[in-house]
Chains A and B, each alone.
Chain A
Amino acid sequence: MRTLLLLMICLALSGSAALAQDARKIMDAVYKQDTSRDATWRGTMDVYDKKGTLRRKKFTFRKLGGLGNSKTLVRFNDPAEVRGVGLLSLNERGVADRQWMYTPAIQRTRRIAAQERRQRFLGTDFTNEDMAERVLDDYTYKLLGEGEMVDGRKTYKIEARPVSPEKSQYAYVYLWVPVDVPYTVMAEMYDKNGQRQRVLKAGELVKISNIWVAKRVEMNTPTEGTKTILLLEDIRFNTGLKEDGFTQQALEKPDA
C-alpha cells in the first residue's frame, strides 16, 4: 500500500489525542484521528539542496477516501515549468498502488512504476518509502519513555520497528507523540547501521473540522544536509469532492 502524495505522510502520522499507556494504542489513536471523507489544501514545498539553494513549488491537493482506500490528485501550479503537472494516485486495500503523472507540455499521462524504496521522491527529502501510505500493523511498537518536550509539548517516545524489515530501508523509527494530541510531531528514521537517516518534524498543529493537522512539515536528511519544508494553507475537510475528480480524464484537465 503506497501512495504518492507528500501530504499523506502528515496525515498518516497524525492522530487524535489518546492517553493510553500502551505504545500500540497510542499509535492506533494517531492513525485513527483523521476521520475525514475528503480533504483539500494548498501547499508550498520548499526543497533545499546541500548548498542551501531553494526550489519552491506550489500545488493544490485533493484527497478522497480514508486510510488504505483513497484517491489523491495533486496539481502543481508554480513555477511555470511545472504548471499543470498532475499526479493521480489510487490506493486500494489489497491492490498495488497505481499512480499516473500528467505533463501538459507533451499532453501525456503516463504510469509511474513502483520505485525503489530508498529513492528520493521527485528530488525531495521524502523517499518513496516515506511517501507510502502505512497502516498500524506495518510496525511493532515499544514505549521508550514519556515526558520529553517537543515544540513545547510533553511527548511519548515510541520505537517502531517494521514487521517486514526486508521491505524497509529503515531498521527502526523513533516517534514522538504529544501526550495530549494524537499526532506524530517528530520522527527519526534509522538505517541498519544505526545511522540516523531522516528527521521529520510536524509543527503548527491546528484542529480543523475536529481533525488535527500540522501546517508545517519539515523533513531533514542529516547525512546529506538537505531538507524539504512543506507548508499547508487553506485546509478544508469534507467539502464533498466527487469520484470523477480522481480519474485519468480529470488528471488531463489541468485547469479543472
Chain B
Amino acid sequence: MMLSSLASITWKQWRQHRLRTALTLLGIALGVAVYFAVRTANVTLLSSLTITIEKMAGKATLQIVGDEGGFPEAIWETVKDTPGVHIAQPVIEVLANTAFEDEGSLMIVGVDMLGDRELREYQFDEAGEEIADPLVALAQPDSIMISRKFAEKHQLKDGDKLPLFTAQGKKEFVVRGIFKPAGLGEIFDGQIAVMDVFNAQFVFNRGRNIDRIDLMNESGVSVDELQQRLRTRLPAGLEIGPPSSRGKGIENSVAAMKIGMTITSFIALLVGVFIIFNSFSIAVNQRWKEIGILRALGVERPNVQCMFLVEAALMGMLGSAVGIGLGFFLAIGAERVMSQIAAQLFSYVTTQQPPVFRWDYAVTSFVIGVISSVIGAWLPARAAARLNPVLALHNIETRQSENVLGKPRIIAGILLVLTGWALIAFGPASVGLSLQFSYSVLIIFGLVLLLPALAALTARALRPLMDRLFGSEGVIAVDSMIQSPRRTSATVGALMIGLSFVFSMGAYVRSYQKTVSDWMDRIVNADIIINTSENARSRTNHFSEDLGKTLAAIPGVRRVENIRFLFLPYADDSVALIALDMDGWFARVKDVVEGADEDEVKDKIIRGEGVLVARNFVARYHLGVGDRLRFQTPTGPFDFPILGVIEDYTSEKGAVFFERELYKRYWNDPAVDIIDVMVTPGAEVATVKQAVTRAVKGQHRAFIYTNAEYKKFIMDLINGFFVLNYMQMTVAIIIAALGIVNTLIISVAERKRELGVLRAIGGLRSQVRKMILLEAAAIAIVGVLSGTLAGVFNTYFLVRTAAHMIGGFTIPFRFPLTIVLVALPVALGIALLAAWWPARKAVNLKVVEAIGYE
C-alpha cells in the first residue's frame, strides 16, 4: 500500500544514487565488519588456544597443572593412588628449537612411554608408529620420536641425529622412532616429537618435576567428584580441572588485547552511525522536493519518517550482511596478529585455526548494524517528516535552513564533556571498565553535540585565511562547509572520532613507550643480557646455572647474575615473579624503592626476608608495604612481607621481586631465564659480547644483547603489542576517509547547480577541482582540531583509567603534540585523496544539466 509504494521510491533512489548507496552500505559494512571481526578473532584466538590445550590433553578428563616451574613428580604418585583415578599420566612439554638452519620450533611432549597407552593414543596413530628398538629408546635419554612429517621435512630416519637447543645447550638427540601423529601432530603441523617423560626431565634439566598430569576418571566416578577428591588431597596452588577450563587463564592473559579490540569495534560502529546519519541527512536534503511532493500528495508525516527509517533498516540489513562477510576475513588477519602477540608476550603456543564462524555473533552484529543504521537515520528522518511542503516545493535558495547551532545544544554538549571529564578525573576507580568507558563516550557525545558549532566557528575563522590563500575558491569551499553544518559535522564527527582515536592511541602508545623506556633506563643496567627466547621469555626453554659459570670465566666479565622469570598463579590470576640476585641489583639501582627506607629494604631483601612488588601489583590487589604475600610452593607455603614497592612495567598483572636463593629454596627450581653479565671496568662491552657469543654459540639457543640492544628489543616487543593498536588506527582512518568521500560526493551532488553556475560564469574545471579539494582540506582541518580536542580527552581517559584498569599502570599524561603535528598533514593528505573522486565528479559535471533550465 502506501509503504510499499514508498519503498519503490526508495528503491529508485538507491538505483539513482548508486554511489551514495554504496558508500553508505560500505560505512555500515565496515562498522559491522570490525565489530564482527573483533569478536570472531577473539573467539578464534581463544579457541585455537583451547583446542591446542584440548588436543594436547587428548582423552584426559581432568588435568592437573602447576605454575610454570612445574610441580614435583611425587604428586603423580598421590594422584595415581587416589580412588576413582583410572589412569594418570605425567607430562612435560618443551618447546625446543632445532639446530637446523631454520631453527624451527619443535613441540616435545614427554610422556611415560611405559605408562598406559590409552591416554596418549591421540598422540600417536598406533598403526603408524615405528620404534625399531623400544628398549634402546627407553634406555638412552637422547632418544626422540618424531612425526613422519617432520622426519620427511628434514630427511631424518631411524638412528639419525637431531640437534636441538635445550637448557643444557645444544644437544644431539637420536631419532629412535617415527610416528604418524594423530590430533596433536596435526595441530602443530608435524612439528612435534615425543620423548619419555623421565628422559625429558633429565635432558631438559627439570629435576623431578613435571608440568602436568593428564588423567581419566574411572567410569563409576564423576569428573566433578574426582576433582573434589583430588582437591582435598593435593597441595593448593595446583590447578585441577577439565582441559577446557584451562582456556580461562589464557583468556585472562589476553584480556588487555580483548578490551582494546572491543573499544575499536565500538568506535567503528559509532563511525558507522555517523556515516548513516550523514548519508541520510544528505538524502533528505537532496530529496526535499520529492518529500514536498509526497507530503503535498497526502503522505502523512509519520509515513515520511517511516519511509526513511525503513530505508535505513534495509540499508542496515544489507550493509550488515556484507559486513559480516567482510568481518570474517578481517578476523583472519586480526587473529594472526593476536596469536603472534599471544606467542611473543605471553608465550602461548597457538595453532592457526580457521576463524570460527559464530552464528550468535553474526546475529548480534547484524542486529547491531541494523539498529545503528536506524539510529543514524533517526534525526534525518525526523527532519524529513518535519519539512514544510510549501517551502520544499519552492526554490533553491529556500532550502531548509539548518538550525543546529542552538544554545541548548551547545550547553548540553559542554555539560556532557565536563561531566565526562569530571567522572574520569574524580570518579572512583573501582566501578568497572565498561562504566568507565561510558565516561569517555559521554565526552565524545558531548563533542558531537558541539561539533556544528565547532565546525562553524572554525570555518569562520578559516574563511579570511582561505580567502587570502586561495581566493574565492577557498571562500566557497569553506562556505559550503558552513552552509550545511549538519552534513559537515557528520563528516567531521566521523573524522573526529577516527582521529581522536588515533591521537589518543598514539598518545597512549607514546606515553607508555616513554614511561617504559625511562623505567628501563633505571632498572635494566647489566652490560650484557642473555635471554632464552626471541620473545619476552620462554615458558619451556631455560638455561642451567652452568652456563653462568662458563660465562663468568670469560675475560672481561666481572660478574654474572642468574635471573628466573616466570608467572605464578595469584588470586584468580597470575603474577610475574622475578627471582634475581638482589645484592647485585641493588648495587646498580638507586632510589627505586617506594614506601620504605631503601637501605633497610635492601638488607632484608638480600637476606631473603621479604619481597618487593610492582606498583601496579599493590594497586591491583590493594596491598601495601607490610602486607604479606603468600604463594603455594612445591615445598610448602611461601609467606613473606612486602618490604617495598617499585615502579615496574614488567607485566600488566603485576610483578614480585625477591632473592633468587629464596626462590630456589622454595620452588626447588634452579632454572635460569635471563643472565645478566657485568663487564669489568675498562673492558669493551662489544668485545665481551663477542666472547660471550662465541662461548654460547652452537651450544645454547640464546639471544645475547648489549644493554642498549636489550632495551630496544623490549621496546620492539612492546611495539609488537601495539601492532593491534596500529591496526585499530588504520581502521579508524579508513572509516574516517570513507566519511570524507561520502560527504564530498554528496556535497558535490547537492551543489550540482552551484557548481554548474560557477562553471557557467567562467569557473575553470581546475578551479572547481581546487574548490572541492579545499573543502576537503577545510573538513580535515576542522576534523583534526576537533579530533585533537576529543583525542586529548580520550588520552586522558586511556592513561588515567584504561591503563590503570587494564594494566594497573600509572602512566603520566603527555600531550601528543608530535602526533597532532604529524596528523594534520596526514589528515590533509587523506582528505585530499578521499576528495579526488568527488572532485573528478564535480569537474565532469554536465553544466547544462546542472543548471537545469526550465
Q: Which residues of A contact B (CB under 8 A)?
A: 47, 49, 55, 57, 76, 79, 81-82, 85, 101, 103-106, 108, 110-116, 119, 122-123
Chain A residues, CB < 8 A from B115: 113
Of B87, B133, B134, B139, chain A has the most CB atoms within 10 Å of the CB of B139
Chain A residues, CB < 8 A from B138: 85, 101, 103
Is B131 touching A81 in the complex (CB atoms < 8 A)? no
Is B112 touching A113 in the complex (CB atoms < 8 A)? yes
Cα–Cα distance between A101 and B117 once the two chains are bound (Å): 17
Is B117 touching A81 in the complex (CB atoms < 8 A)? no
Is B132 touching A108 in the complex (CB atoms < 8 A)? no
Chain A residues, CB < 8 A from B136: 79, 81-82
Q: A110-B114, A112-B114, A114-B116 are in contact. Are A55 and B133 (CB under 8 A)?
A: yes
Residue contacts A-B, CB under 8 angstroms, 17 given: A81-B136, A82-B139, A85-B135, A101-B114, A101-B138, A108-B198, A110-B112, A110-B114, A110-B198, A112-B114, A113-B115, A115-B114, A119-B117, A122-B135, A123-B132, A123-B133, A123-B134
Chain B residues, CB < 8 A from A81: 136, 139-140
Which of B114, B134, B140 contacts A111, CB < 8 Å?
A: B114
Which of B87, B116, B135, B141 contacts A105, CB < 8 Å?
A: B141
Q: Which of B104-120 contact A (CB under 8 A)?
A: 112, 114-118
Chain B residues, CB < 8 A from A85: 135, 138-139
Given contacts A49-B132, A106-B198, A116-B117, 5 further A-B contacts (CB under 8 A): A55-B132, A103-B198, A104-B139, A105-B140, A110-B198
Closest to A119 in B: B117
Is B117 touching A103 in the complex (CB atoms < 8 A)? no
Q: Does B52 contact A (CB under 8 A)?
A: no
Chain B residues, CB < 8 A from A103: 138-139, 141, 198
CB distance from B16 to the nearest CB of A (A): 75
Q: Which residues of B contact A (CB under 8 A)?
A: 87, 112, 114-118, 131-136, 138-141, 198-199, 201-202
Cα–Cα distance between A176 and B139 once the two chains are bound (Å): 37
Is A57 touching B112 in the complex (CB atoms < 8 A)? no
Is A113 touching B132 in the complex (CB atoms < 8 A)? no
CB distance from B722 to the nearest CB of A (A): 45
Instruction: For the complex of A and B, list the 6 residue pairs with the smallest distance between their C-beta atoms, beginning with the closest.
Output: A106-B202, A112-B114, A123-B134, A81-B136, A113-B116, A113-B115
Chain B residues, CB < 8 A from A105: 139-141, 202
Cα–Cα distance between A55 and B135 once the two chains are bound (Å): 11
Is B112 touching A123 in the complex (CB atoms < 8 A)? no
Chain B residues, CB < 8 A from A108: 198, 202
Closest to A76 in B: B135
Is A82 touching B135 in the complex (CB atoms < 8 A)? yes
Of A112, A115, A122, chain B has the most CB atoms within 10 Å of the CB of A122
Cα–Cα distance between A115 and B115 once the two chains are bound (Å): 7
Cα–Cα distance between A55 and B134 once the two chains are bound (Å): 11
Q: A106-B141, A106-B198 are in contact. Are A115 and B135 (CB under 8 A)?
A: no
Is B134 touching A122 in the complex (CB atoms < 8 A)? yes
Cα–Cα distance between A81 and B133 once the two chains are bound (Å): 11
Chain B residues, CB < 8 A from A112: 114
Cα–Cα distance between A110 and B141 once the two chains are bound (Å): 14
Which of B118, B131, B199 contacts A123, CB < 8 Å?
A: B131
Chain B residues, CB < 8 A from A49: 132
Chain A residues, CB < 8 A from B202: 105-106, 108
Cα–Cα distance between A113 and B88 once the two chains are bound (Å): 10
Which of A57, A76, A113 contacts B114, CB < 8 Å?
A: A113
Q: A55-B132, A76-B135, A122-B134 are in contact. Are A106 and B199 (CB under 8 A)?
A: yes
Cα–Cα distance between A109 and B825 once the two chains are bound (Å): 72
Cα–Cα distance between A47 and B131 once the two chains are bound (Å): 13
Cα–Cα distance between A79 and B202 once the two chains are bound (Å): 22
Closest to A87 in B: B135
CB distance from B357 to the nearest CB of A (A): 40
Chain B residues, CB < 8 A from A116: 117-118
CB distance from B208 to the nearest CB of A (A): 9
Cα–Cα distance between A79 and B132 once the two chains are bound (Å): 15
CB distance from A87 to the nearest CB of B (A): 9
Cα–Cα distance between A168 and B310 once the two chains are bound (Å): 73
Closest to B202 in A: A106
Chain B residues, CB < 8 A from A106: 141, 198-199, 201-202
Chain B residues, CB < 8 A from A79: 136
Closest to B203 in A: A106
Cα–Cα distance between A79 and B139 once the two chains are bound (Å): 11
Of A55, A104, A110, A111, chain B has the most CB atoms within 10 Å of the CB of A110
Chain B residues, CB < 8 A from A113: 87, 112, 114-116
Chain A residues, CB < 8 A from B139: 76, 81-82, 85, 103-105
Cα–Cα distance between A76 and B139 once the two chains are bound (Å): 11
Cα–Cα distance between A82 and B140 once the two chains are bound (Å): 8
Is A57 touching B135 in the complex (CB atoms < 8 A)? yes
Cα–Cα distance between A112 and B114 once the two chains are bound (Å): 5
Cα–Cα distance between A210 and B118 once the two chains are bound (Å): 44
CB distance from B51 to the nearest CB of A (A): 28
Closest to B87 in A: A113
Cα–Cα distance between A115 and B87 once the two chains are bound (Å): 12
Closest to B131 in A: A123
Of B117, B135, B138, chain A has the most CB atoms within 10 Å of the CB of B135
CB distance from A212 to the nearest CB of B (A): 29
Chain B residues, CB < 8 A from A104: 139
CB distance from A100 to the nearest CB of B (A): 9
Cα–Cα distance between A57 and B203 once the two chains are bound (Å): 25
Cα–Cα distance between A159 and B114 once the two chains are bound (Å): 33
Cα–Cα distance between A82 and B138 once the two chains are bound (Å): 9
CB distance from A47 to the nearest CB of B (A): 8
CB distance from B811 to the nearest CB of A (A): 50
CB distance from A252 to the nearest CB of B (A): 14
Cα–Cα distance between A1 and B624 once the two chains are bound (Å): 62
Chain A residues, CB < 8 A from B135: 57, 76, 82, 85, 122-123
Cα–Cα distance between A19 and B140 once the two chains are bound (Å): 50
Cα–Cα distance between A113 and B201 once the two chains are bound (Å): 19
Cα–Cα distance between A113 and B112 once the two chains are bound (Å): 9
Cα–Cα distance between A137 and B201 once the two chains are bound (Å): 44
Chain A residues, CB < 8 A from B140: 81, 105
Chain B residues, CB < 8 A from A82: 135-136, 139
Closest to A120 in B: B134
CB distance from A130 to the nearest CB of B (A): 15
Cα–Cα distance between A105 and B288 once the two chains are bound (Å): 90
CB distance from A121 to the nearest CB of B (A): 9
Closest to A53 in B: B132
Cα–Cα distance between A70 and B107 once the two chains are bound (Å): 42
Closest to A81 in B: B136
